[in-house]
Structure formats: structure tokens, C-alpha cells
A and B are shown apart, each in its own frame.
Chain A
Amino acid sequence: MDFTDTTEEAAFRAEANAFLSQHLEPKKAAAIRSGRRDDYLKRAKDWQKVKAENQFAQITWPKEIGGRGGSPMQQVIWNQEESKFDAPIGPFAIGLGMCVPTVIAFGSDEHKQRYVQKALFGEEIWCQLFSEPAAGSDVAGLKTKAVKDGDDWVINGQKVWTSGAHYSDYGILLVRTDPDVPKHKGLTMFIVDMKQEGVDVRPIHQASGGSEFNEVYFTDVRIPDADRLGEPGMGWKVALVTLMNERLAVGGSPGPDWAEIMDYARSSGSMSDQAFRAKLADWYVAAQGYKLTKFRTQTALSKGETPGPENSIGKVITANHLQDICNSAIEMQDHYGIISDKDHAPADAIFQESFMWAPGLRIAGGTDEILKNIIAERVLGLPQDVRVDKDKPFSAF
């Protein structure tokens, strides 16, 4: 056992770090907390272009389509190094991580020529349009419909929780094309131009107060049949490929961790509280457990093996602990803890802000309950839940 890179890994890490140092500022705690600046989108596009010009944009993609032809381990190393810098990468994570790989897998040569390079070089941003108001965990139950009309399909319906829809140029859109077959069999995937008429993007006012997500309404939107990804009715299969392409977690903390609440507890004289000390130990053990589990995954990648299912524990742990840590920090502040005004609240109100963000984290990208179902069914091999609608036409419900 050791935690050192192989010679090749060390060389790549040094190369990546040198490149990053040349272009970006190291990340500072204050910078993470200061939120996104107004010029964030422009900086993100500029940074994406620089990465692409130097073959750092998609490490594992083949060179022919602008990648580096590198290994999954090199992608992990790049992600680790990039996360040490103040890198504006958010707007491209979903497009390049999930949408464009789907276009590469199922699109025509024309699609690939038209879209891949522009996305890679930061000129166009993509979003993913799957979830609907009545189809979240059970996303295959979506209702937005597409009806064939000549060489076009006409789309009507509503998507929700679409990250970045307001600044996206294109999206991959999952819709129902046949309501008279069971729900998984009547879906089809399309490429959609987000700037066209009939596409109405409205920000969601989240419970946290912010607006990072959107509702997207489609009213008589026409999509040429040529922009279909996969055969009609094969949309669910295409969607599974999209979801499988989620990038290896880079491990960026979604908010304050055990170390931050420990810092706060020390500065406020709360370290003598025995109950708090016991909880701090639990948070540390869980955070270490998650971090070290990722090391096990990396070890498998480094050896060229397929990682085991152990990484599936990630979000169940991190989202719940974030919520618990923020709750404890607020209670530690007693009545004063209710204040989220940064002029008063300790630690720039990071605990209060994350307290309001935490419920969303437990839902986004798979709820706790769905993730536990996945562990139970795919890792432990337990029977699937009862799905009463599985073999019946969607229209029967």
C-alpha cells in the first residue's frame, strides 16, 4: 500500500499542475465562499477554450475528436489538480460529461461534426432535459410528448430542474413518442436548439432562495427527425448511456466539512462540549471513509481494472453529513445561529447558506431513497421494487 503516483502518473500530474499554474489562481477558501462573479460564464468559456487547445479538455476522449486519448486515471489526476485552482468549470460539466458523449454515441457524422468541437472549445453549452414535475425518481414516467409531423416532430410539455438551461445553446431532450406501450418503451431522445421559438426557460425560485435551476416549457417546438438520437422508442436506452457517462466524482466538497466546523468550534470555545466531540469524530470517520473509498476506486483505475460498486456510497454520506454539520453549527450558535446576514453570521454565513442548500443535495442526482434502492438492487442483488406500471401501456395510467 502506498499513496504515491507511478512515475507516469507523477509526470502527468506535474504537467497538469504546471499548465494550471500558468493559467489560473490557486483556490482560496474565501474564493469558494464568495460565490460566482458576474463574469463567471465568460471566464468559463475562456478557460474551456484554453483547455481544449492544449488537449486537457476531455482527457479520455480519443485524439481524433479533440481529446487526449488518456486513461481514466489521468482524468482523475486532472480533476484533482484542477480542483486546487479557482477554475470556472461548472457550466460545462453536464454538457461535456453527459450530453455530448451521448451525441457521440448515438448521433450521425453530421451531428458529431457540427456539435462536438464547438462544445469542447467552449463555444456552445449543453443542458440535459429529462426530469419533469411528475417524473423525478421515476423519470421514465415523463409526459412531454413528441408527435411526428412530416419530417419534423412537434414537442409540447414541460421539463424541470434543468441546470444551466438559461445559458445553454443546445440540450438533449427525452420525450414520449408512443403512449400506447409500456413507459420505458415509448421514449425517444432528441437534440434540441434551446434558442428556438417555443422554448421558454424560467428560473425556479428554490427553497434556498437562489435560482440555479430552471423550468423549461415547450410549446409546438419543431425538431427535425434528423436530430433524433437513436431509434424512436429507444430513448430509455440512450438515457441510460447519458447517465452512465456521469464523470467520476472529483470530490469537491459541496459545503462545510468536519474541518470547517472544527475550526469554528475552536474559535468559539465549543470544543469542550463532549456531545459535539463525539459527533465530530463521526463526521471525520465518514468523510475519511468516503475519501479513502475513492482512493480504492482510483487504485483499480490505476491498475487498469474496473472499479467496484463501492463509490455508490458517496452522495448518501456527503449530503446527509453536510446537513447534519450545518445543523450542529447553527445550534452551537444558539439564538444567534438564525442570522444569515454575512455582516453578523460567523464564517461568512457558510453554515446557514449550506443549511438551506442541503435539502436539495439530498434530492438532486438521485434521492437518498433511490440511491439506497440502487445499492440494494445492483450491488446486493435484492429483488426490484414492485412496478405495477411496468408491463402496461403508459396511457393506461
Chain B
Amino acid sequence: MNFDFSDDQKFLRDEARKFLEAQCTSAHVRAVLDDDNVSHNDEVWQKIVEMGWLGAAIPEEYGGLGLGMLELCVIAEELGRVLAPVPFGSSAYFFAEAIKLAGTEEQKAELLPKVADGSIVGCLATTEGPGALSAASVQTSAKDSALSGTKVPVTDGDVATHAVVLAKEGSGTGLYVVALDQDGVSRKSLKTIEPTRSHAEIKFDGASAERLGHETGNGMTVLDQVMNRAAVLLAFEQLGGASRCLEMATEYAKERHAFGRPIGGNQAIKHKLADIYVKNEVARSNAYYGAWALSTDAAELPEAAAAARVAASEAFWFASKENIQTHGGMGFTWEVDCHLYYRRAKLLAVQAGSPAVWKEKLVSALEAKNAA
């Protein structure tokens, strides 16, 4: 039984934490929050690029560090703690994993080294309107390597240089990689409840696109596999954010006095924080299991990823809202960071399918398993 990260991975975590606490402070996040014309913090982004983290799980033959998925999980948790205002997840989890999983040999050789060295920024474009994503609801279509339609919102869509796009092809769907700096693509920034990560509406009008190497019409199935992989990584980001919320709330509850004593001496606050702790530990254990399944390509990945995502979405949501509540009126001011976590928690909870979608995936996976 070795259900923990290795000493090397823990060393990576400690180093990443030190680095990010110094280089990605609340002021760096707020520089993006308070400026509508800024899509991300480029100073932070360039430093992260230099660290090589984007290539942590990209094999060395494709220009990455070739460390592995567990290392990427460790980095994800630390990025989540500090609310890194950069397109890391879009490029390293969604785009890179899609290319790794379904790209042709040429696409991998062309794109992965550039993701790793930061010379391109990838994103995933699937959503077109309200409601859960389904093959039937996709209107964007591809014909003869030309893509037309509108994706909205695309997380990090205005900073990205490339997108993997879900489109109709014949009676099925396909995943296409598209360069976003071409004539057939127009982008518009969107106002969202999470301004520290930019969002765009992207219109494709006969844009030149290249299909990934999967079977024709099989896009949704491949996307599902990409989502399972990204879900585990997102779970670690969520876990990092939830852990930080519990720390913030606990620190504040010890400092803030009311009625002559710290508010953290009252059971209404103590039990609230204990509830956060319980949810966070449930999320941590499920995330670790997801990491194990991801790193070993285990057959259990579908249920492990879904459980990790359901637990982490619940933990971060609960921790972020109760962190505000614990801070009282202070927690509802722009200047205190509580709302930044509340915003990020909601983005990460719906970005790759809402909790309801993942609960359904989980139960379907359990049914399939028991039927076998």
C-alpha cells in the first residue's frame, strides 16, 4: 500500500508552492481582475513557462519534461491554491491531453513541443449554449477541413493561439485542431463571473481546420476520454483552492473577535469549518485515486475521474461560499480575496461539465461495471 505521492513529487510540490507564493500573489491575480483589457497575467505566465511545467506530462520525445501525470497533478493543486490567472489548464490539461490522446503523429510532433515551450497556447472549444453538452446539440460543423459555427464561451479563448474544437461531421462528431490567428476566425471577449480567467466567443467562418487522428464521427467518445483525464487535473486545482479557503477561514476565525472572544470559539463556526475539512478530505482521497487511475491508465479511470470531480466540485463550492460567510461583511468586500475563490470555484465546477453531468457519468460507470 503506497497511496501517497513520492518524496520527489512532494519536493516538487514544496518547490512549486514556494515559487507561486512569491511569484503569483493576490496582487498578480487582481491585476487581471481589475483590468478588462487583460486576458491573463503574462508576467506570471512567462515564469511558469520557464519552469517547464507545461511539459510536465508531455513525453521528452515531444519536447516535454516527461515526468508524468502525477507530477502534473501536484502542480495543478498548487496553481489552484493561488488562483493562477493564466491559461495553464486550457493548454496543458485540455489541449495537450486531446492531442496526446487522439492526435496524429504529425500533430503531436508539431504541436506538443510548442505547448511545452509556451510558443503556442491551446484551449478546448465545445460549448455553444446553455445546458449539458451532447452530440445532438452541436451546431458547429466541419466539411472538407473547413469549420463553421460559433463556440461560446471558450475558456482562455482570447489568449489561446490554438483550439481543439468539437464539430459535427456527417452523422457524428469530430475533434478539430484550429489555429486561431487566421481570417476565418473572429473572437470577442466575454464578461463572466470569473474575470481572472478570460473567456471568448469564437466564430468560425470556413476556418481551416485539421481533424485529430480519431475515427470519423467518433469525436464525442474521444472527448469523453479527454474529459476524464482533464477532470482529475481540475480536481487537483479545485482541491488546492478548497484547501486555501479552509486555511483562510480558519485563520480569520482565530483572529476575529466578537462578543469578547474569537468567533472560531463558537460551535456554529467550528462545525462549519469541520464540515469543510470533512469535504476537503473526501475530495483529497478521491483526487488521489483519480491520479492513480490517470497515471496508470487504469480501467477504473471513468469512475475514479468522475468521483474525483464530483467530490472536488462540492468541496470547493462549499469551502468558497462558507469562507465568505465566516468572514462576514469583510468577506463581501472587493478587497478581501474570498470572492476570488468563489468565482474560481464556479468556473472549475462547470468548465468541463457540471456536477450533475459527472454524477450521471459516475452512476453510469457503476452500472456498466456491475453489469459486467
Contact = CB atoms under 8 A, between A and B. Distances in A.
Q: By DSSP majority rule, is chain A's interface helix, strand, loop, or mixed?
A: helix
A232 B93 CA distance: 64
Interface in B45-73: 70
A298 interface: yes
A250 interface: no
A9 B235 CA distance: 32
B362 interface: yes
A383 B262 contact: yes
A187 B296 CA distance: 55
A389 interface: no
Interface in B120-179: none
Contacts of A1: 2-5, 70, 288, 291-292, 295-296
Interface centre among A299, A383, A384 (most CB of B within 10 A): A383
Contact of A284 (B262, B269, B307): B307
A299 to B, nearest CB: 5
Nearest to A372: B274
Contacts of A292: 3, 285-286, 288-289
A350 interface: no
A373 B277 CA distance: 12
Interface centre among A5, A295, A385 (most CB of B within 10 A): A295
Contact of A317 (B70, B262, B278, B362): B278
A151 interface: no
A111 interface: no
Contacts of A369: 267, 271
A262 B282 contact: no
Contacts of B29: none
Contact of B286 (A288, A371, A384): A288
A386 B265 contact: yes
A299 B246 CA distance: 25
A380 interface: yes
Contact of A281 (B1, B282, B359): B359
Contacts, number: 155
How big is chain B's contact interface, by range?
A: 35 or more
Contact of A278 (B264, B271, B356): B356
B273 A298 contact: no
A310 interface: yes
A383 B1 contact: no
Contact of A382 (B254, B284, B310, B362): B254
Q: By DSSP majority rule, is chain B's interface helix, strand, loop, or mixed?
A: helix
Interface string B215-254: 0000000000000000000000000000000100010011
A373 B359 CA distance: 31
A316 interface: yes
Given A2-B2, A3-B3, A281-B310, A382 B277 contact: no
Interface in B329-366: 356, 358-360, 362-363, 366
A118 B285 CA distance: 41
Contact of A277 (B2, B278, B314, B359): B359
B261 interface: yes
A36 to B, nearest CB: 30
B275 interface: yes
Contact of A375 (B1, B2, B278): B278
Contacts of A380: 246, 250, 270, 273-274, 277
Given A290-B282, A317-B278, A282 B359 contact: yes
A286 B271 contact: no
Contact of B285 (A296, A302, A379): A296
Given A281-B363, A302-B2, A288 B265 contact: no
Contacts of A316: 274, 278
Contacts of B367: 266, 271
B213 to A, nearest CB: 30
Nearest to B363: A277
Interface string B279-321: 0011111101101100110000000001100110010000000
Nearest to A289: B282
A314 to B, nearest CB: 10
A280 interface: yes
A284 B363 CA distance: 9
Contact of A381 (B254, B275, B292): B254
Contacts of B307: 284-285, 288
A9 B271 CA distance: 38
Interface string A290-308: 1111011011101000000
B281 A284 contact: no
B238 to A, nearest CB: 13
Contacts of A313: 277-278, 281-282
5 contacts: A292-B3, A293-B281, A296-B288, A310-B285, A373-B267
Interface of A: 1-5, 9, 262, 266, 271, 277-278, 280-282, 284-286, 288-293, 295-296, 298-300, 302, 310, 313, 316-317, 369, 371-373, 375-377, 379-386
Given A380-B250, A380-B274, 16 more contacts: A1-B292, A2-B1, A277-B363, A281-B360, A284-B363, A285-B286, A289-B282, A291-B285, A375-B274, A377-B270, A380-B270, A380-B273, A382-B254, A383-B254, A383-B265, A385-B270
Nearest first, the 8 A-B pairs at minimum CB distance are: A289-B282, A376-B270, A281-B359, A292-B285, A383-B265, A372-B274, A382-B264, A375-B274
